[in-house]
A and B are shown apart, each in its own frame.
Chain A
């Protein structure tokens, strides 16, 4: 173990960066409990009593219940659709010895590199003529297609590591592909599935561009896009804006703190193979 001084400075550096990581958000939370007059006079202070009424005002003015509900539907729908179509595809491409499986996989892989900007322009007009604009289903379809390459990629990489003998044994015992996938592969792939769920959910929950184009009426807006409108309405009322921002940040923060192991494992699982 090194001497005291290097140990102290190492921990000191970690504390400084930790503070840097939480102070911006922490400051906004403090601002959300003050009056807008007070925040404009002194950015550092805090006064009593705390202004919890800001949250009531933000909640009512910002249609937050709608935004939360829409965000939940879109994120859960995207995760469900991706797993529903992506898991069988990854399983088939990884384990079933298909013809051209690597070629098909490469086509999926391309989707990781494609920026949304190269699809969003025609898609906007396409969705409008299909009547899918301003519907949650439309947003789910687009976000699922965007997230699919990653899911297929991560699941396939994990399923390739399954012992072949196991799948062979299942086939010899007369199990169909579907049966093998559900009863044998799925339980073994649980960590990879969890990683896909957590990362896909977060991506969809935080997505701005898809709702910007495809969810343009207030009744279907998700949190991020709703928040940009909220920001526009309360530019001068900093305390209310801070309360709205905190309301939007809290669900993410809670989910992350509960599932941070899945987050970190999902990321590092791939990167350290």
Chain B
């Protein structure tokens, strides 16, 4: 559900009608009522801002997490990171994950288009059922799909065998060339319902008269979809693309539950690599530098996205 909350928040913020420009607020405003903001800010500062600063500092040190104090090494960690093939391989897996998620978003678009048709029966029922996977903890999702992928007892291989596709049966999570796709497919299972709900929300806001006018002009279903629906949900589409990008770069849970990054490092993503560096091999300073780079990448992508949004509107 993190993707959901971030989605809702980004959605609310970037489409708020009155706040296209971020000026620093009324200059003539008051200080007095700041005590209402103070508790929230204190909590946020203590558990978010301060640790971020600490991470940046740690990234300039060498530390095993046990010795009394970290040793200052300057930019050494970052130099090492540039030459670290395992880091770039994990980043590559994240990018593969991003592209994989586009499939789920395409399916979400199709589902939303179907559900927004006036003649669909049981709209609420379908929407509710299709959204179920989004609400599940990724630990549960990971365990369920791990069972499905089991070579001898799993649903997938048994299903393939039952319809005569025995040659396709294999140890999906045990082989380097199928493991990553299998994990991404699992992630996609939790994505399409989310995309559907966001896009459907956008479609329901399109003026129905537009469709009627187009129909009178002789536009077919495809033409109406292409020229009315898609432009009408442009905001939601851009939004989904950036949310999936951000969340996919942070992804950790499924890899932790299903493969531990294996076989070998075949399914390692950046977050898992950071975790392994910091808490398995105790290279705390180096892990911090990878975390800083990940954060910078996310901030850059968000900034580019916000810039594009501004240009569009």
Interface residues of A (CB under 8 A from B): 1-2, 6-7, 10-11, 13-14, 17-18, 20-25, 27-28, 31, 39-40, 42-44, 81, 84-86, 88-89, 91-93, 96-104, 106-109, 111-123, 125-126, 141-142, 144-150, 152-154, 157-158, 160, 177-178, 181, 195, 199-200, 202-203, 205-206, 208-209, 212-213, 223-225, 227-228, 231, 238, 241-242, 245, 248-249, 252-253, 256-257, 260, 263-264, 266-273
Does B178 make an interface contact (CB < 8 A)?
A: no
By the criterion CB–CB under 8 Å, are B5 and A150 in contact? yes
Q: List 13 A-B contacts (CB under 8 A).
A: A92-B37, A99-B27, A103-B24, A111-B48, A142-B47, A153-B12, A206-B137, A206-B139, A208-B257, A252-B137, A268-B201, A269-B8, A270-B8
Knowing A121-B291, A142-B47, the reply to whether A18 touches B129 (Cβ < 8 A) is yes
B81 at the interface (CB under 8 A from A): no
Residues of B within 8 A of A113 (CB): 246, 295, 298-299, 302
In the complex the two chains form, is A177's CB within 8 Å of B136's CB?
no
Q: Which residue of B lies closest to A92 (CB)?
A: B36
Q: Say whether, besides A252-B136, A271-B8, A22 and B129 are in contact (CB < 8 Å).
A: yes
Residues of A within 8 A of B65 (CB): 125
A216 to chain B, nearest CB (A): 11
Residues of A close to B253: CB separation below 8 A: 208-209
In the complex, which range does the number of interface residues on chain B fall in?
35 or more
Contacts A271-B11, A271-B202 given: A121-B287 contact, CB under 8 Å? Answer: yes
Task: Give CA–CA (A146, B9) in the complex, Å.
Answer: 13
> A145–B44 contact, CB under 8 A?
yes
User: Which B residues touch A154, using CB under 8 A?
Assistant: 8-9, 12
Q: Once bound together, how far apart are the Cα atoms of A147 and B55, in whole Å?
A: 20
B24 contacts A119, C-beta separation under 8 Å:
no
1/0 contact trace for B19-57 toward A, CB 8 Å?
100111111011101101101110110111111101100
Instruction: Give the shortest distance, in Å, between B146 (CB) and chain A (any CB).
Output: 8
Q: Let me know if A114 and B34 touch, CB within 8 A.
A: no
Give, as a whole number of angstroms, the nearest-CB distance from A40 to chain B: 5
Given that A121-B287, A208-B138 are contacting pairs, would A104 and B12 also be in contact in the complex, using a CB cutoff of 8 Å?
no
Among residues of B, the one whose C-beta sits closest to the C-beta of A14 is B126
Query: Does B43 contact A115, Cβ atoms closer than 8 Å?
Result: no
Contact of B25 among A101, A111, A120, A248 (CB under 8 A): A101
Leading 9 A-B pairs by shortest Cβ distance: A268-B201, A270-B12, A122-B54, A145-B47, A271-B11, A89-B40, A270-B11, A206-B137, A119-B51
Docked CA distance A186–B136 (Å): 30
What is the bound-complex CA distance between A115 and B2, given in angstroms? 11
Are B114 and A228 in contact (CB-based, < 8 A)?
no
A233 CA to B151 CA, complexed, in Å? 19
User: How close is B44's CB to chain A, nearest CB, in angstroms?
Assistant: 5
B184 in contact (CB, < 8 A): no
B284 and A272 contact, CB distance less than 8 A = no
Tell me, yes or no, whether B261 is within 8 Å of chain A by CB: no
Query: In the docked arrangement, what's the CA distance between A113 and B303, Å?
Result: 10
CB pair A117 B294 closer than 8 Å: yes
CB neighbours (8 Å) of B25 from chain A are 98-104
- Whether A14 pairs with B8 at a CB distance below 8 angstroms is no
Answer whether A102 and B24 are a contact pair too, CB < 8 Å, given A13-B114, A153-B12, A209-B253. yes
* CB closest residue in chain B, given A43: B158
Q: Chain B residues near A100 (CB, 8 Å)?
A: 24-25, 29
List residues of chain B with CB within 8 A of the CB of A118. Answer: 51-52, 55, 291-292, 294-295
Tell me if A117 and B37 are in contact (CB < 8 A): no
Find out whether the CB atom of A269 lies under 8 angstroms from the CB atom of B12. Answer: yes
